[in-house]
A and B are shown apart, each in its own frame.
Chain A
Amino acid sequence: MAAEMKFLQGNEACVEGALYAGLQFFAGYPITPSTEIAEQLSARLPQRGGKFIQMEDEIASMCAVIGASLTGLKSMTATSGPGFSLIQEAIGYAVMTETPTVVVNVQRGGPSTGLPTCVAQGDVMQARWGTHGDHSIITLTASSIQDIFLMTVEAFNLSETYRTPVILLFDEVIGHMREKLILPKPGEIELVERLRTSVPEGTDYHPYLARDDGRLPMSDFGGVHRYNVTGLVHDMWGFPTTDPATTHALLRHLVDKLEERADSLARYKEYYLDDAEVVIISYGSPVRSARHAVEQLRQKSRRVGLLELQTLWPFPAQLIHDRCQMAHEILVVEMNMGQITQEVKKAVPDPDRVFLANRIDGVFITHKDVKATLRLIMGKGV
């Protein structure tokens, strides 16, 4: 049988990816430019026995998603800037209680209500640090409809593997753009199912007692084991404590389980990097313009290459360090005032050689914008 091919919006590809990954529960509140995800899932989820609920706001949506995930269902919400701000406290709860959840943020212009229908990538740092307290989190992004599908499946897999919320940080252009999607067949991509405890009914189950390999098997909430879940600092029983040693160990665990795996969590693509003297780093829809510019410059035999980041957090600092070793110049292309640029500067030996090509006016950055910035850096002839 030939592969199933579709012509879809990014938001629709996200729906396809979520369903492929086994999404069973979605709660959301309408917000531009993510609304199509909720609309489509309201039709698709009940067809396969899943649940869709439109809540009274984004806060309630994220809370319902956590509640449903605890009962054993793969769960997701989707929102944009203002809604993403509202759910930060609940994202922290999912971090603290180690509840697998997927959060889609189709970015629009900000701050505040900003530019609801225009593109921006201003929520990169918010994805990392939006909720209070020391923590770590996984954030993925994509620059094509096919990759939106793949990264959505990946988000579910990683959230189940590491018991963490995973942010899918898309943007208005990639969310609304239409492109070809080749739908993988069932089984073609491996799906990670939740690690459930082997502790039998009637035996004490410790929800926050790690196995030897560091993983914490779950027990579906409301099932055969009764335990406590709290957003307070907690012990192996899930019961609140202020014990300094327990507190320290919990915080280290929450951060280290992801930060120590930054290399293996790095998803990326590279183009023409082998001999590149100029390395362009980009993510999300601006990758398309950066790649366009790189291909034009290659035709002029310019040694320009592109590193596309698909994992933004934990930040792939080692990858960037390695790929930029030979670079004379590094140009970060992003639609904000340099949120990833600052991280790149920290990752390379010579931060003075890191430059930014951006747009923050709600207009999509083009290959001409990228080349104009390169011209400023490298002089004429580009």
Chain B
Amino acid sequence: MAVKDYLRKRFFPQIWCPGCGNGIVMNSMIRAIENLGYKKNEVVIVSGIGCTARMSGYLDFHTLHTLHGRALAFATGVKLGRPELKVILPLGDGDAVAIGGNHFIHAARRNIDLTAIVVNNGIYGMTGGQFSPLTGYGKKATTAPYGNVDSAFDTVELAKGAGASFVARTTTFHAPQMTQIIEKAVAHKGFSVVEVLSQCPTYYGRKNKLGGPVEMMQHYKKTTTPIGSKAKQENPELIERGIFFEQERPEYCQAYAQIIERAQRV
């Protein structure tokens, strides 16, 4: 099917600003699902609150638009309720690692079969450009007029440390790679995290004088490199992208099915 056939055109036009990275991420997500051959009825999108979270409404899957930060907790109930479903969560900075940070590390620890796509645009867009835990030290935001005093999380390290069994990073510039990575992440049995560096030209770009969407995406091209590349060895400042970690370990719903068996034997 064409990408447009996965969209609820009834609810267009969408709300995102011109040049926003969310459309690119949504496109890659759809292509990944198409490539995996899943039927629409097999896929659930759970999101929280914010620009990225609005993705759920436009997609013709089962869609659950929840509370700020709580998408992973709702998704845990959905997945445990119907383990056969493929559950994907487009999460913004806040949903993933600020208000939702606790649920993020615990979903990773449980290794429940959900795919968290962390769309890292370094800002809270929907509320108008306040700094997030992914903004970074010294950057500007409407609540950091003199430069941000907070340091940023490294989403990849956080996910790995918390126990996610699939961890990757890509950018909106590298859309074909993003599709491949999301495909692998969704197919992976366990908690998978894909961080996507994504541009918010309206707030992050403007506040930090990074130019328009094209310049911001070119910036991703210049400042990132494949994992373990020669370029990284020569310039440690470069951000690596690709699949960092992939591990087979017991998935929560499968493990719970064994608990049921054990309980029924006693």
Which residues of A (25-69) have their CB < 8 Å from a CB of B? 25, 27, 43, 46-47, 49, 51, 53, 55-57, 59-61, 63-69
Contact B67 A221 (CB under 8 A): no
A72-B75 Cα distance, complex, nearest whole Å:
14
Assess the B106–A73 pair: CB atoms within 8 A.
Answer: no
Assembly CA distance A224 to B266 (angstroms): 36
Chain A contact patch, size range: 35 or more
Would you call A70 and B78 a contact (CB within 8 A)? yes
Report yes or no: B67 in contact with A229, Cβ–Cβ below 8 A: no
Contact with B along A201-228 (1 / 0, CB 8 A): 0000000000000000000111110111
A239 on interface, CB distance cutoff 8 Å = yes
Give A56 to B74 CA distance when docked, in angstroms: 13
A-B Cβ contacts below 8 A, count: 130
Q: Is B73 an interface residue (CB 8 A)?
A: yes
Residues on the A chain within 8 Å of B10, using CB:
237, 239
Quick check: is A71 within 8 A (CB to CB) of the other chain? yes
B57 in contact with A56 (CB, 8 Å): no
Confirm or deny: B85 has a beta carbon within 8 angstroms of a beta carbon on chain A: yes
Tell me which residues across on chain A come within 8 A of B264, comparing CB atoms. Answer: 46-47, 49
Beyond A67-B73, A222-B85, whether A60 also contacts B80 by CB under 8 A is no
Chain B interface bracket (under 10, 10 to 19, 20 to 34, 35 or more): 35 or more
Kindly state whether residue B144 has any CB partner on chain A within 8 Å. no
Most interface-central of B62, B102, B103 (chain A CB within 10 A): B62
Q: How far is the CA of A298 from the CA of B41 in the complex (A)?
A: 65
Q: Is the CB of A229 within 8 A of B65?
A: yes
Contacts of B225 in A (CB 8 A): none
Q: A70 and B76 in contact (CB under 8 A), knowing A46-B263, A47-B263, A239-B11?
A: no
Q: Is A229 a contact partner of B64 (Cβ separation < 8 A)?
A: yes
* Given A223-B41, A226-B41, A226-B61, CB of A71 within 8 Å of CB of B81: yes
- A312 CB to nearest chain B CB (Å): 26
Within residues 58 to 78 of chain B, which ones have a CB less than 8 A from any CB in chain A? 60-67, 70, 73-78
* Shortest Cβ distance from residue A227 to the other chain B in the assembled complex, whole angstroms: 7
> Is B81 within 8 A of A25, CB to CB?
yes
Given contacts A46-B260, A56-B103, contact A63 B81 (CB under 8 A): no
Given A25-B77, A67-B64, A226-B62, A60:B106 Cβ within 8 A: yes
A75 within 8 A of B: yes
Chain B residues within an 8 Å CB radius of A223: 41
* A285-304 CB contacts (< 8 Å) to partner B: none
User: Is chain B's interface secondary structure helix, strand, loop, or mixed overall?
Assistant: helix
Contacts of B75 in A (CB 8 A): 67
The answer to whether A343 has its CB under 8 Å from any CB of chain B is no
- Whether A232 sits at the interface, judged by CB under 8 Å, is yes
Q: Is the CB of A226 within 8 A of B63?
A: yes
Say yes or no for A349: interface residue by CB 8 A criterion. Answer: no
Do residues A231 and B65 form an inter-chain contact, with CB atoms below 8 A? yes
Contact B63 A73 (CB under 8 A): no
Residues of chain B within 8 A of A229, CB atoms compared: 63-65
CA A228 – CA B8 in complex, angstroms? 10
Docked pose: A91 CA to B78 CA in angstroms: 17
A179 at the interface (CB under 8 A from B): no
B130 an interface residue at 8 Å Cβ cutoff? no
Q: Complex Cα distance A87/B44, Å? A: 24
A230 interface hit (Cβ, 8 Å): yes
What is the CA–CA distance of A64 and B63 in the complex, to the nearest angstrom? 15
B82 and A65 form a contact (CB under 8 A):
no
Q: Is the CB of B41 within 8 A of A60?
A: no
Which residue from chain B places its CB closest to the CB of A241 in the assembled complex?
B11
Q: Does the CB pair A227–B62 fall under 8 Å? A: yes
Q: Is the CB of B73 within 8 A of A60?
A: yes
Among B68-113, those with CB < 8 Å from A are 70, 73-82, 85, 102-103, 106
**Which residue of chain A has its CB nearest to the CB of B259?**
A46
- B:134-157 near A, CB below 8 Å: none
The reply on B199 being an interface residue by CB < 8 A is no
- CA distance in complex: A55, B102 (Å): 11
Task: Say yes or no: A51 contacts B76, CB within 8 Å.
Answer: no
CB within 8 Å of A: which B39-53 residues: 40-41, 44, 46
Please give me the 6 A-B residue pairs with the lowest Cβ-Cβ distance, nearest first: A67-B77, A71-B81, A64-B77, A63-B73, A46-B263, A60-B73
Chain A to chain B contacts (Cβ below 8 Å), 23 pairs: A25-B81, A27-B77, A46-B262, A53-B256, A55-B73, A60-B76, A63-B66, A63-B76, A63-B77, A67-B75, A67-B78, A68-B80, A70-B78, A71-B77, A71-B81, A73-B81, A220-B82, A221-B44, A222-B78, A223-B41, A226-B41, A228-B56, A228-B57
- Give chain A's interface residues, CB within 8 Å of chain B: 25, 27, 43, 46-47, 49, 51, 53, 55-57, 59-61, 63-73, 75, 89-90, 93, 220-224, 226-232, 237, 239-240
User: Which residues in B have some Cβ–Cβ distance to A below 8 Å?
Assistant: 8, 10-11, 40-41, 44, 46, 56-57, 60-67, 70, 73-82, 85, 102-103, 106, 256, 259-260, 262-264, 266
Beyond the given pairs A90-B70, A226-B41, 14 more chain A to chain B contacts, judged by CB atoms under 8 angstroms and listed by A's residue number, are: A27-B77, A46-B256, A55-B73, A60-B76, A63-B77, A67-B73, A67-B77, A67-B78, A70-B77, A226-B60, A228-B65, A229-B64, A239-B11, A240-B65
